[in-house]
Amino acid sequence: MKAALKAHTIFMFIKTFCSSQICVSDSDENYCFCFDIDDTLIQTNLANFLAYQKAIFEVKGALINPTLLKDRCDKGLLTAFKLSKQKNEYIKVLKDRYFRSFLSFTKINNLMLCFMQILQKQYKVILVTSAKQQRIETLIKYHKLENLPTIFYNLQGNKYKNCLEKFSLNAKFMMIFEDNDKEIKDAQKAGICDIIKNLRDKNGKLL
């Protein structure tokens, strides 16, 4: 009973940060919460930046501008270098390899972790990611995370639309926690209206 009350309290607290009117009663246990992993549950942007910086320098001999840390640092930054498809793929391979050496620069978002752990005692919770499974498992092992909810590994396309279809969920009864603008737009296209966005300060750090 205490766990349910605590989850209900967190639900009410989160509602105050939601940009839309939540479409379900607070006690509805069919409501689902989806948490993105990269830069939502675990802060990985700096580690990604350092891994890409090392990989790009090795292939092209160029350094990435640190100002990119203010945005999400992912494979999209490779478009600025206008490299061949073969070199882009090689950089991605190197980046995945070097990422392991920068795991100490990743950090748990304790607020999100707390929300997730409390909510999963009463509601359905899913971790949603488009990252490679091996990479996510490496992060989970490094941070010694246990008793995690189901993880949905999206292979391609709209990860929220695919998650809804995979688990036969109703978009009206789902809230997502996400940091990426493109992924948020995908969620909206999938019919999800309850969205909590992770905000960054002027230096690119998650709030």
HEC sequence for 93-153? HHHHHHHHHHHHHCEECHHHHHHHHHHCCCCEEEEEECCCHHHHHHHHHHCCCCCCCEEEE
pLDDT of residue 52: 87
Judge whether 46 and 206 are in contact, CB under 8 Å: no
Residues of the chain with pLDDT under 70: 1-29, 64-81, 199-207
Residue 174 φ/ψ, nearest 5 degrees:
-135, 140
The angle at the Cα of 156, spanning 155 to 158, to the nearest 5 degrees, equals 120
Evaluate if pTM is beyond 0.85.
Answer: no
The CB-side HSE value for 203 (13 A sphere, CA atoms) comes to 3
Helix (H) or strand (E) segment spanning residue 177: strand 174-178
Cβ burial of 131 (10 Å; 0-12, 13-18, 19+) is middle
Residue 54 one-letter amino acid: K
The CB-side HSE value for 23 (13 A sphere, CA atoms) comes to 14
Helices (H), the chain: 2-15, 45-60, 85-99, 110-119, 133-142, 159-166, 181-189
* pLDDT tens string 168-195: 999 988 999 998 889 999 999 999 988 8
CA 202 to chain centre: 20
3-state secondary structure of 206: strand
The angle at the Cα of 152, spanning 190 to 78, to the nearest 5 degrees, equals 80
pLDDT of residue 127: 98
Judge whether 173 and 23 are in contact, CB under 8 Å: yes
